[in-house]
Amino acid sequence: MTAAPERAVEPRRSSPLSLALNVIRGAMIGTAETVPGVSGGTVALMTGVYETLLTSAGHLIGGVRLAVTDGLRGRGLARSRDQFSRVAWAVVLPIGVGMVIALVGMAHVMEGLLGDHPETMRGLFLGLVVASLAVPFRHSRASATRAGHAGAWGVREWALAAVAAVVVGIVVSLPGGNLSPEPYILVPAGALAVSALVLPGLSGSFLLLTMGLYEPTIAALNDRDLGYLALFATGCAIGLVTIVKLLQWLLEHHRRVTLVALTGVMAGSLVALWPWQDADGARVAPYGSLAGPVIAFAVGALVVVATLAIEHRITGGVELPEPAPAVED
């Protein structure tokens, strides 16, 4: 059976207010990526732009690939232009600008806050992620199974989410490594880090921390070390092409089960955000004043609840449509 043609990404209103909001969303995503244990993908889900960004990235990658291959074969650029037209540029560009600004401007700030107030900051991020679990959970319940049924999770779906949570919980509990920032290390490290950026619940910064490359990468950003950053960006480009297309395909063909798994992944990542940790990152019993982390947790959760309420008001409570399967090249 021939697959139905994919619907283009729904255009968002490009008013000055919506552009400004998307810059802020991008800044939030970029800031999250500077913090070990916090996923930029989670923030994208929380702010309601995850699937738009993922789908747009998939079309952008497809457009570049078709421009190269069809150009070399003399087929023209019609197919690549079609892919580029499906990118939600009014969303992608301002979010990209916000991310770059945050990555350059917030790296030093977040480094200082985490160093001076680690328990309070982790409490804040824990509250953000706990409340954000409602996003993929809600969207998964609104998505239909292969049999055409939506609604509550079944036993298999709860089991899948639990397995995903356990696996990610183990990954984020791994002790930190001490790899040398050599070119043959930086390229695969960049690929892994950007894969975590795309996948909600996994933090690119945390994966860099487990490899011992977090501090060198933050230092390269602060010192504008272009050689280091170029190698890292090469790895990011490789990882982005691979993971984006895979996740785009999964959301188009197996949306409900993918969102169930993402919910489990986010839940498992909470292990890394336990506020009280020793110097090696191992979780310990609460110590000192509990007020700071507890209040920060509540603030983080309230920020997400308020964001979801605003999003619900703007959209009128309408769920995102399920993407139609894409046409094979």
Res 161: pLDDT:
94
Answer whether residue 97 shows pLDDT above 90. Answer: yes
Residue 280 structure tokens: 């090696």
Q: In the block, which residue shows the tokens 């999003």?
A: 311
The percent of residues above 70 in pLDDT, for the chain, comes to 82
Res 321: pLDDT:
43
C-alpha 97/C-alpha 91 separation (Å) is 10
Answer whether residue 294 shows pLDDT above 90. Answer: yes
Q: How many CB atoms lie within 10 A of CB 284?
A: 10
The residues, any chain, with a CB within 8 Å of residue 31's CB and separated by 6 or more, are 102, 106, 110
Single-letter amino acid code for the residue at 274: W
Answer whether residue 230 shows pLDDT above 70. Answer: yes
Answer whether residue 327 shows pLDDT above 50. Answer: no
H/E segment holding residue 255: helix 255-269
User: Helix H segments across 33-154?
Assistant: 40-46, 50-72, 78-85, 89-116, 118-132, 134-142
Answer whether residue 305 shows pLDDT above 90. Answer: no
> Please, are residues 325 and 4 in contact by the beta-carbon 8 Å criterion?
yes
Q: Which residue has the higher pLDDT, 318 or 40?
A: 40
Q: Closest Cα partner for 134 from 324, 309, 295, 12?
A: 309
The CA-CA-CA angle for residues 61, 50, 269, to 5°, reads 110
Q: Which residue has the higher pLDDT, 296 or 170?
A: 296
C-alpha 294/C-alpha 286 separation (Å) is 11
Provide DSSP, 146-194.
TTS--SS--HHHHHHHHHHHHHHHHHTTSPP------HHHHHHHHHHHH
Answer whether residue 82 shows pLDDT above 80. Answer: yes
Mean pLDDT value across residues 88-93: 90
Predicted confidence band at 202 (pLDDT cuts at 50, 70, 90)? low
Q: Which residue has the higher pLDDT, 188 or 244?
A: 188
Mean pLDDT value across residues 124-129: 82
> Please, are residues 252 and 324 in contact by the beta-carbon 8 Å criterion?
yes
Res 36: pLDDT:
61
Single-letter amino acid code for the residue at 310: I
> Please, are residues 98 and 27 in contact by the beta-carbon 8 Å criterion?
yes
Res 37: pLDDT:
59
Res 142: pLDDT:
83
Total residues belonging to the chain: 329
Res 201: pLDDT:
61
C-alpha 40/C-alpha 184 separation (Å) is 25
The residues, any chain, with a CB within 8 Å of residue 189's CB and separated by 6 or more, are 179, 207, 208, 211, 213, 232, 235
Predicted confidence band at 297 (pLDDT cuts at 50, 70, 90)? very high
C-alpha 306/C-alpha 172 separation (Å) is 28
H/E segment holding residue 39: none
Res 76: pLDDT:
80
C-alpha 259/C-alpha 264 separation (Å) is 9
> Please, are residues 297 and 123 in contact by the beta-carbon 8 Å criterion?
yes
Q: What is the mean pLDDT of the chain?
A: 79
Q: Which residue has the higher pLDDT, 218 or 298?
A: 298
Predicted confidence band at 109 (pLDDT cuts at 50, 70, 90)? confident
> Please, are residues 37 and 269 in contact by the beta-carbon 8 Å criterion?
yes
C-alpha 200/C-alpha 311 separation (Å) is 19
- What pTM value is reported for the model? 0.65
C-alpha 256/C-alpha 319 separation (Å) is 13
pLDDT per position as a tens digit, 206-215 = 677 767 787 7
Say which range, 80-84, 223-227, 276-280, 309-313, has the weakest mean pLDDT.
309-313
Highest mean pLDDT among 15-19, 186-190, 199-203, 245-249: 186-190
Predicted confidence band at 162 (pLDDT cuts at 50, 70, 90)? very high
Mean pLDDT value across residues 281-301: 87
